[in-house]
Every structure is written in structure tokens, then in C-alpha cells.
Amino acid sequence: MDRNYFEEMEAKIPHGKVRTRFAPSPTGYMHVGNLRTALYTWLIARAAGGTFILRIEDTDQGRYVDGAVEVIYRTMAQCGLDHDEGPDVGGPVAPYIQSERRDTYGKYARLLVEKGGAYYCFCEKTESEEDAGAFNRAADPCRDLPMEEVQAKLDAGMPYVIRQKIPTEGTTTFHDAIFGDITVENSTLDDQVLLKRDGLPTYNFANVIDDHLMGITHVVRGSEYLASAPKYNLLYESFGWEVPTYVHCSPVMRDSQNKMSKRHGDPSYEDLIAQGYLTEAVLNYVALLGWSPKGEQAEQEIFSLEELVKAFDITGISKSPAIFDRVKLDHFNAVYLRNLSAEAFCKVAEPYIRQSVKGDFDMAAIAALLQARCERLTDIPEKVDFFDALPAYDVSFYTNKKSKTDPQISLKMLEAAVPMLEALDEWTVENIHDGLIDLAARLEVKNATLMWPVRIAAAGKPVTPGGAVEICHILGKDETIRRLKAGMAMLASC
């Protein structure tokens, strides 16, 4: 073979600093495990002042989903995980889409045959068997075919795959940054397919070739690939290439027994955003799914992306699987919602408020009631639906032991509140508040004894995101008095 091609490819490889890559397959959506891999890979590069690469691994055409690449770009952009090189921005080792590198893999597969690390296999196997590596190498008649016979079969146009030639004896040891040194018997490894009959590479071959040619120094992937790592090492050794740092991350689990899976209804990144979570909260929580900070930040939970860059260290990644806890995510999201400015919260909350509040109400005032009482944005419509229309409610809502109210007492309170509210010249929070407090004092009752029935009559709910004063102010004078009189009529009929 002409070695000039390979020398030219080697000359393009950048050296001298950390280079990482996120290499998703365009198979539909970005699940939580994918997002964590992208985040950790990005953090390793950014913490070291290195280069972060986006590569699209689309060689498995059978699983390709239209629009999936756009999902990847959109998710990365929304999360602030910017890439320095990739299909859309280019770079020194383009192309960054595997299907556009097809000829490259064929050349390297044939080079590996020349180096003795692979062989042509002409045996009839189904594609699924090829992909799974389900092949007994001891019985493989192609493994040690004379080169003349191989060439004759190639000249005759016989279909073939190219398989890795695993040593029959000895062991292979590889090092992982999380799991340490791992040694396996070569006899337990199969002669995996590297190049399929259609000329496309398998994942296990393509990612090794691409990682080398793109100068990748740290490879982050799931711990399910630990079993394949010895074969990757043997490929690197056969080519005479330096092995990158492996970082195998344990899986994200739905519970102690089951990995998260879209098949079982577990959420993707886009699902979580649609369910009312903020991107910043999701990223923060995902960062801590299998990683923990050290030193002065060991007890810290809330991290901005910039703070994660400063705090992130590979040694903080755990060997143990991480369990995805909705309650914990809700906590993180609530913290992030509370930390928004009033204006920023109103902006993200308004679309959800408008789902149930169509009337001409002060959105900022409604948002102010919600900010300290909301875990997810999708909680909002149900919390504020009473503004548009007073819901049908039960008279029992007027009974509250702590406020010392019952239907009879509540009727007296409303009978006193309505004329006082009608007499207010200006409908302000201060005037409503002061008027009700003064009225409670004149009636010689606790403030809550008056406020409870006013709030029930105004909202028709025992639990609301604001008190009687705020709700009455937002409803406006006419609507408040109309609702309180309706409450009086209900109580008078009991």
C-alpha cells in the first residue's frame, strides 16, 4: 500500500494539549447518560484549556433518525456546551461526520491486515452476527488463509468483512482513569468485525481510527464499554499508536436494578425541559450524577457551568452507578427558580401562567406569588387557574382550626370585609392590607380569622401561591367584591 496517505493523515493530527470529543449517534434524542458524557467531556477540555470536538457517529444507518442531528446541535447549544471543532464549524481534522470518512476506514482496515492485526473473512454471516462479534475464531477457516488465496478471493469479487486478529495466547492490560488497571485473557476476546460487507466500519473500529486521527487525548464513555477496551488497546498497539486516557463512567440508573431507558419512559433532556425544569438546574444535577467535588467545595451542591469548569476533576468520578432521583432534581430546580431575578422568573413563568390565565392580569404580580412556591414550571398552570374563573368549591374549605374559622364565622368576616373593601379609594396592596388588618382589630379577631375566608372566597382553593391581600389586589376591586359576595351567598344558604 502507498504509505504517503497515512503519513499525510498523521501530519494533520494536532498535538500539545488536551483534546476531547463527544461522539453521539443520531438515533433520536439526548438521554441523561448522553448529556452527562457530553458535559464531562466538555469539562475535561475546558478545565485544561484544551479543545472540545463534536463528532457525529452515523455509521449505523439502520438506527439513523431524521432530525436527530438537529436535536444534538440544539441540546448542546441550549446547555452552553460549545464545541471548537465539528461538522458545522470545521477544523483541522475534518470531516467530523463518520459517514463522510468511509474511505478512511477502509484504508486503515487494509493497513491493519498488512500489519498482521486483522484479516479478511469470507465466511457467510448475517449482519447481526457480524455486529455482535458472534464468531468462533478457533473454527474460522479464514484467519490463517495464505495471502495468495485471499487475493484470489478478492479478485473474484467475493464479499468479505475484515476482522481483528486477536492474539490466541497471553493477556491484555489496559488502564482506566476511574477503574485502574484491568487485565483480561486474550482467549476470552473475539475476533470482532472491523469493516462490514457494505464497506462501513463497526463502531468499535471507527471510533479508534477517528480518536487517533483527531488527536483525542481523553476518551469518555460508559462503563459498558470496559469489556471492549482490551480490543481497542490491541488495535492501538497493532497500529503503533499511543493509547488515549480512558474515562469509563458508571451508568445512570432509574433504580438500584435498572438503567435509565427511553423504552421504559425515562426522560430525555428535551423531556425534562418540557416538564418544567431549567437547563441550568438539569446540568447542575447531571454533573453530580456520579461525580463529586473535592476540597473546599466538597459540600457544595449548586454550581454554575463556570464553577463546574473550575471544580471538575476526573478523580471525583465514582465507580458506583448513580441513581436518577426526581425529588433531588426538583430540589435543584426550585433553588434555581428562586435564584432568578424577578424579571427573569417572570419571563420563564409567563408562558405557563398564560396556559390557564387568559384575562388581563398583571403577569409580574402573579409571577411574584409563584417564585418562592414553585419546583417546576409545569406546576404553574394549576396553581393560578383560579384567576380566570372562580372554581366550584366546597363550603368545608371555610373551616380551618388554626385560623379559628367555620362557615358561620366566615360569613361574619365576609359581611364585614365587603363594605370595607368597597370603601377603598385606591386599590393598592398597602390599602387592602392595612384595611383588613385594621378590620380584624376592630372585630377583635386574629388576622388569620379574617384573612382565611377572604382568601377562600377570592380563590376557591385552600392552597394558593399567595395570600388574601395579593390575590385580591391582582383580581381587582370589582372581581374581588363579586367573588366575596358569592361566598357570602354560599355561606348564607348553609
Question: Are 230 and 174 in contact, with CB atoms under 8 Å apart?
Answer: yes
Is the sign of the CA dihedral 225, 206, 1, 191 positive or negative?
Answer: positive
Strands 218-222 and 118-121: unpaired
Calculate the dihedral angle through the C-alpha atoms of 310, 315, 317, 318, rounding to the nearest 10 degrees.
-150
Closest among 295, 325, 336, 331 to 313, alpha carbons compared: 295
Closest among 437, 431, 441 to 473, alpha carbons compared: 431
CA dist., res. 113 & res. 102, Å (int): 17
How many other C-beta atoms are found inside a 10 Å radius of the C-beta of residue 104?
18
DSSP codes of every residue in 147-191? HHHHHHHHHTT---EEEE---SSSEEEEEETTTEEEEEEGGG---
DSSP codes of every residue in 223-274? GGGGGGHHHHHHHHHHHTPPPPEEEEEPPEESSSS-B--GGGT--BHHHHHH
**Could you give phi then psi for residue 244, rounded to 5 degrees?**
-70, 170
Q: Which residues are bridge partners to 360 per DSSP?
A: none
CA dist., res. 477 & res. 479, Å (int): 6
CA dist., res. 180 & res. 245, Å (int): 11
CA dist., res. 136 & res. 371, Å (int): 63
Clarify whether 115 is annotated catalytic. no
Q: What is the residue whose three cell numbers read 404580580?
A: 365
Cell of 86: 465539528
- 3-state secondary structure at position 215: coil
- Among the options 12, 17, 262, 404, which is catalytic? 262
- 3-state secondary structure at position 90: strand
DSSP 8-state assignment for residue 82: -
CA dist., res. 337 & res. 351, Å (int): 15
Q: Which residues are bridge partners to 19 per DSSP?
A: 51
DSSP 8-state assignment for residue 117: S
Q: What is the residue whose three cell numbers read 419571563?
A: 347
Residues whose CB is less than 8 angstroms from the CB of residue 118 and which lie 6 or more positions away in sequence, other chains included = 109, 112, 162, 163, 164, 165, 194, 238
Closest among 52, 55, 60 to 17, alpha carbons compared: 52
Q: Which residues are catalytic?
A: 262
